[in-house]
Every structure is written in C-alpha cells, then in structure tokens.
Amino acid sequence: MSRVTITTKKSSHANKFGKLILDDGTVFDGMGFGYSTTVFGEIVFNTGMVGYTETLTDPSYSGQILTLTYPLVGNYGVPDSSIKDQDGIPKFFESNKIQLRGLVVHELSLTASHWNLSMTLDEWLYNEKIPGISGIDTRALTKNLRTGGVMMAALVVSDTEINVDEIKKQLSSAPNYNSEQFMDTVSTKQEVMYGSEEKSVVVIDTGTKNAILRNIRDLGYKVIKLPWNTSFEKIMSYHPKGVVISNGPGDPQKCPDTIETARKLIENNIPTLGICLGAQIIGLAGNTQTYKLKYGHRGQNKPCVNLENNQVYVTSQNHGYGITPESLNASEFNLWFTNADDKTVEGIKHKKQNCIAVQFHPEAAPGPYDCKFVFEELKHLMEEGKSAEE
C-alpha cells in the first residue's frame, strides 16, 4: 500500500566555506555547496516557490548569480537529465546544463525525496562545476537588490578560508554583465530538428528553453532550431509556417543579426512569435526602444492584463530588460499585454503584420500554464493568417 522503495538522496558537498560579495561592498557569509570555485556575475532574485530544475537550466540566466527567495530549496532533488521524449527533447530540463553561474539559497535541503529524482541539487551543482551558497538571509539580500538594483557580485565556495579583500579586488575588475555577449555560448551552432511533422516552425535560438520547443511540437509542427544569427533567407529556405524568436540572456541590442532577421520577417509578413528576449528583439525591429529594469521580473506570480478582453493571467517571467512603454506610440505595434502591477510592456501585436510577442513565458517551465493560448494564437496566424482574437 506504500511505496516499495523510497527515493531519497543525501547531499555530500555541502557545508563548505562560502561567501557572497556584492559590488556595493556587502558581504554575506554562508555555507558553500556544490562545486568549490569563484564566479562573478550579475546577482538577481526569483520569487518562484517551485521549479529550480527548470530555472537553473533556463539559458536566460547565463551570466547571472541567482537568489531564490523561497527559503527551502532542493527538497525534491533533481530528475534524470538523460530522459528525453519521443522527439529527443529533454523531458525535465530546459537546456543541456545549468546555465547560471551560481546559486544563493537560504536553506539547502540536505535530503531530497521524490519518486522522480536521480540526484540531489548539491550533487548536480557539483557535477556541473557550479558553486552554491546556503545560510544566507535571502530576504535581506532581496531587499538590498530591490532598493539598490541588480549589481555584479562574486560567489566563492571553498574548502579553505576565503580572503574577502582579494575577491573584492577581482570583482571590481570582472567583466560587467551588461557588456557581455552571450549568444555564442547559449545558441545552437547548427540546425536541430525535432519531430517529423510535415509542417514546420523555425525557432531562432537566442537561448531557447526546451519548453518552447515542446509547445510548438505539441501544436503539431516539426521544430527546426536554428542559430541566433541565421539570416532571413536561410530561414525561409526551410519553408516554415512560422517563426519563433526565443527567450535568452542579456541585452537585446547585443543581437543585431537577429533584429535584422526579425525586421525582414515582419516585412514579409511571416507569422512570428517573440518570447521574452525574442519580444524585445521584435520590438527593436519595429521601432520600439528597450531599457534595463532596476531589478527585473523573475517569478511565477506576475499578473498580466490582456488588453483585448481585460482578462488577467498569472504568468511566469524572467527578464531584466523590457520594451520602453513610451516608445510604443511611435512604433509599428499596439500594446497587447501590460503588467498589472507596474504597467510595463508584457506583450505587443504588430499593427498590420502577423507578428506577436510576449515578454512573459507562455511555455511555463517553471510556472503556471495559463498562457499556453499564446501558442494557439501563433497557430492561428500560421493557419488562418490572422489573430484568433480578431
């Protein structure tokens, strides 16, 4: 009547020396876990209460040290990364590795328990050479970031005592997140196909999560994943029904090739959906501007209003940049979704062409599934040549 065997695992790399040092001079003392090393990156926070597996493998976190505001992390372990679905898309992971540079938590669960686990969070970080720190007052840290804005930080995990002054020195000369170029590391180098359906959709991989691929596939299309700088002409050579420009890390301005491709996609009225970074790229292609948010939107509880029917959806988000609201007026787009809390731009629709974009993550993983209809909307554009709402 109960489980035959229980699936629990114990952490084995926890309780090392650990320090988190912020650019503003704040030093947090904690316990290191995962891999012993020093990393530098932009420190950000996410308020989701579940979904660290999905979060850690989301390429949008490249270059960042992530703080989870939920204090108990690692409870259900990590599933087997090698498990793939029938089309070869990893079942539980959003990419093939941990994408962030370091992880900051209040409490690492030393024992994980779940029917689907294959390792602990600690073990996973260790295997992927990523440092983690626990025992941090993550609420205090979050408040610091909320008021001071996101900033560069150093995370040190060590088997010996840590020299803070030395690390501070290194931090001041570490390359700044804002100037980093991530596309070469997060984007696929060559085309990858998933599925064997006749009709296809191209996903321009600016750091895509596998959930986007899964959702397109589930719509009934073959997915063709292409590098971030693939030209419009090359894309059209696949005769796709539509194109998705994916999520991804960093400043959208750092993707001029993708912006150029987007411009042509719009010009030629190719049904296109932009997600997150993809939305910013589409925005830039259609004359909007983008800016960096003070501390971004990262969580699973972000309310967005669909201005077409006034319905509010709870969305999953992870972005540090956004489309400047004021720049919409002079652009080719209408506002589609707006953030109910701070009125930032959450979705746009092209005034004439078959092009839509959302700042949030309709593919979820992690987060709520409420906005899957965005993919249906793309399908409508591809099949009917118009938006479902019209």
Partner 1 sequence: MLPVNVEYVESIIEKERPDGIMLAYGGQTALNCGVNLAQAGILEKYGVHVLGTQIPGIQRTEDRQLFKDSMNQCNVPILKSRTVTNFIDAKVIAQELGYPVIIRVAYTLGGKGGGVAYNEIELHEIVERGLRASLVGQVLIEEYIGHWKQIEYEVMQDYDGNNVIVCNMENVLSMRVHTGDNIVVAPSQTIDNHEYHMLRSAALRATKHVGIVGECNIQYGLDPDSDRYVAIEINPRLSRSSALASKATGYPLAYMSAKIGLGYTLPELENRITKTTTACFEPSLDYIVCKHPRWDFAKFDLVKRKLGPTMKSVGEVMAVGRSFEESLQKSIRMLDIGNDGLVLNRTTMESYDEEQIEEYLSHPDDLILYYVAAALKMGISVEKIYKLSAIDPWFIEKIKNIVDIESKLKQEQLTTSLLWESKKMGFSDKQIARAKDKSAEEIREIRKKAGVLPSVKQIDTLAAEWPAVTNYLYLTYGGNQNDIEVTSDEKGVIVLGAGPYRIGSSVEFDWGTVNMVWGLQENGEKNVSVVNCNPETVSTDYDICSRLYFEELTLERILDIAEFENPKGIVTCVGGQTANNLTLSLAKNGINIMGTAADDVDRAEDRSKFSAELDKLHIQQPRWQAFSNIAEAKSFAQDVGFPVIVRPSYVLSGAAMKVVWSQNELKKYVKEATDVSPDHPVVISKFMLNSLEVDVDGVSNGTDVIIGAIVEHIESAGVHSGDAMMCIPPWRLNNKTIETITEYSTKIAKTFNVKGPFNLQFLIHDDHVYVIELNIRASRSMPFVSKLVKTNLISLAAKAILGKPLPKLPENKWQKIHNFGIKVPQFSFMQLEGADIRLGVEMQSTGEVACFGTSFYDALAKGLTSAGYTLPRTGTALVTVGGSQNKEKLLQPIARLKSLGFKILATEHTAEFFEEKIGDVEVVHKISEPTRKPNIADLLYERKIDFIINIPSTSTLEKYVGMLEDEYQIRRKSLELGIPVLTTIELADSFVKTLEWLRDNQTTKDPIEHYDKID
Q: Is 25 in the site for partner 1 (CB under 8 A)?
A: no
The gap between the terminal CA atoms of the chain, to the nearest Å, is 53
Looking at the Cβ atoms of 164 and 293, the one nearer to partner 1 is 293
Q: Please state the closest distance from residue 21 (CB atom) to partner 1, in A.
A: 16
From CA 191, how far away is CA 367, in angstroms rounded?
A: 28
Which one of 36-44, 97-105, 226-234, 294-302 is the stretch in contact with partner 1 (CB under 8 A)?
294-302
Tokens standing for residue 360: 């949030």
Tokens standing for residue 138: 């993550």
* Residues within window 335-354 making contact with partner 1, judged by CB under 8 A: 340-341
Q: Give catalytic status of residue 239 as yes or no.
A: no
CB 99 within 8 A of CB 59: yes
String marking each residue 129-168 x if it binds partner 1 according to CB under 8 A: --------xxxx-xx--x----------------------
String marking each residue 219-248 x if it binds partner 1 according to CB under 8 A: ------------------------------
Q: Is 107 in the site for partner 1 (CB under 8 A)?
A: yes
- Rounded to the nearest 5 percent, the helix, strand and coil shares of the chain are 25, 35, 45
Looking at the Cβ atoms of 92 and 228, the one nearer to partner 1 is 92
CB 333 within 8 A of CB 350: yes
From CA 341, how far away is CA 45, in angstroms rounded?
A: 18
22: left (phi over 0), alpha (psi -120 to 50) or beta: beta
Q: Which of 21, 66, 183, 305 binds partner 1 (CB under 8 A)?
A: 305
Looking at the Cβ atoms of 42 and 363, the one nearer to partner 1 is 363
Q: Give catalytic status of residue 363 as yes or no.
A: yes
Longest distance between any two alpha carbons in the chain, whole Å: 65
Alpha-helical runs (H) found in the chain? 52-56, 121-127, 138-148, 164-173, 183-186, 210-218, 232-236, 256-267, 277-285, 373-383
List the catalytic residue out of 276, 304, 355, 371. 276
Looking at the Cβ atoms of 143 and 169, the one nearer to partner 1 is 143
CB 275 within 8 A of CB 362: yes
Looking at the Cβ atoms of 38 and 134, the one nearer to partner 1 is 134
Q: Which residue numbers are catalytic?
A: 276, 361, 363
Contacts to partner 1 by CB under 8 A: 1-3, 5-6, 8, 45, 47-51, 53-54, 69-72, 75-76, 79, 92, 106-107, 109-116, 137-140, 142-143, 146, 299-303, 305, 310-312, 314, 340-341, 364-370
